[in-house]
Structure 1
């Protein structure tokens, strides 16, 4: 499969250690600084309760839409390098982390490997992913429709609270909440 410049690449960002907002801002800047990647839009930042291992601080979560000509595995490795640069250690599943970057959705791409699954396999279960993604997916009718239907089936928004708006060139100021 060949990948041309795609602008429907959505990444989830999260942090629950240290300067949480600072880590999110630096991750956006690092992605945007990559020669083959551009941050096009980003959602507001939400504070959310941890999932899985709950004895840890609350997270700040958001989503960003990228334009890139990197293939999915190269983008994954670039995101993992950004995580490591900011002190991410992968020693405890769902444990505290300075930075978590996940490829959530890639318009027109379905992929399953040992390292990467697109769309993200647990995305539909997590309001802290769906809500920020819905904020920036208004130009993608099929994704937007899927997100709205999924949100309608949830009992609640899982403790997802608007924390702040991200000031990024082209950032989304629209919120569906």
Structure 2
């Protein structure tokens, strides 16, 4: 776990993919950005200013809204970031970015402009009132594991020990998820 003085490296070069700091991005309301993809791109640009520089990012994926499939489709992706922040500081930073982009936390599974989830913070395993790492449901979701497998196929889930590639193949939620735009940008991790 980061002490706050070291950089927790999430990717690039010959770094260990299991040390990745992973953030899932999603949304199905464009806000003032014209499209969910434009909003997600703007959010990614904001990460570096907030102490979470992006070193790799997936393409954007699309999936039906749940539990109401008649709502706008979601756009989703995953980013690998580097940070000097602790896991809890990173989570609060993500919440601040969500708020900047118009996220209002109301009912569970409600439509949203921006949803940022801290999926993993290296090999950290935490369970507090505010943060559970790794994310307790990410491994079930194709709209998270599919994008992750694009940029870090050999990343291993900290508690399951299974690679992102295999988790994507065995996902049970969001099975309609598919890549729809922008090739992933990555350095090997």
Counterpart selection for 1:11 from 13, 23, 29: 23
Match of 1:81 in 2: 96
d(CA) in 1 for partners of 2:119 and 2:178?
A: 20
Counterpart selection for 2:180 from 146, 163, 166: 163
Q: Number of aligned residue pairs: give it.
A: 169
- Greater strand share, structure number: 1
Cα contact 1:44–1:166 (8 A) shared by 2? yes
Match of 1:147 in 2: 164
d(CA) in 1 for partners of 2:173 and 2:114?
A: 26
Is 1:131 aligned with 2:116?
Answer: no
TM-score for both structures, normalised by structure 1: 0.85
Q: What do the CA deviations read for 1:8-57 (whole angstroms, capped 9, x no partner)?
A: 100000010022012101110111122x3211000000111123344421
Q: RMSD over aligned Cα, in angstroms?
A: 2.4
CA drift of 1:70 comes to: 0.1
For structure 2, the 5+ residue unaligned runs are 11-19
Cα contact 1:56–1:95 (8 A) shared by 2? no
CA drift of 1:150 comes to: 2.4
d(CA) in 2 for partners of 1:45 and 1:173?
A: 17
Cα contact 2:55–2:186 (8 A) shared by 1? no
- Secondary structure class of the residue paired with 2:82: strand
Change (3 A) 1:70 1:151: same
TM-score for both structures, normalised by structure 2: 0.80
Change (3 A) 1:81 1:157: closer
Is 1:30 aligned with 2:50?
Answer: no
d(CA) in 2 for partners of 1:124 and 1:92?
A: 23
